Amino acid sequence: MAKVLIVDDAKFMRATLVSILTKDHHEIVGEAENGQEAVTLYKQTQPDLVIMDITMPVMNGIDATKEIMEYDPNAHVVVCSAMGHQKIVVDAIEIGAKDFIVKPFDEHRVLETVGRVLF
C-alpha cells in the first residue's frame, strides 16, 4: 500500500492516524509534530502521502504544504482541520493539498479520503 508521513502536534492524533492506516496495511514512514519537521522528513522519506495538521507550532501546515509542493509539485498532501476552519482548508487546497479530513477522525472517512487521493 502507501508510504505515509503523519504530521500533527498532538501525539494522540498521530497515534490515532497510525492505528487507522496500519490496520489498512499502509506503511508509516515518519511522524512530525510541526511543519518544519514535516518538510525535512518529506525530503528524507519521499512518502506517497502526507496527512498534515494545519495548526501547529514552529511552522503551520499551510506553510509546510507550500514548501512541500514547491519541492515536489506531485506531492499528495491531505490536510486535517477541526470543524469551523473551512477558510483555512480552502487556502490549503488552493496551494496544492489534494483533500481534507475533519477532526475528530472518523476511520471510514480517513480511509475513503486516502483511497480517493492515491488511487
Residue 109 falls within a domain, yes or no? yes
CATH of the domain at 22: 3.40.50.2300
Taking each helix axis from N to C terminus, what angle separates 35-45 and 61-71, rounded to the nearest 10 degrees?
A: 30
Closest CA to 48 of 71, 75, 23: 75
Residue 71 falls within a domain, yes or no? yes
For the chain, what is the domain count?
1
- pLDDT (tens digit per residue) in 46-63: 999 999 999 889 999 999
pTM of the model: 0.93
Q: Domain span at residue 101?
A: 3-44+61-118
**Residue 86 reports pLDDT greater than 80:** no
Residue 14 falls within a domain, yes or no? yes
Residue 113 falls within a domain, yes or no? yes
Asked if residues 35 and 60 have their Cβ atoms less than 8 Å apart, the reply is yes
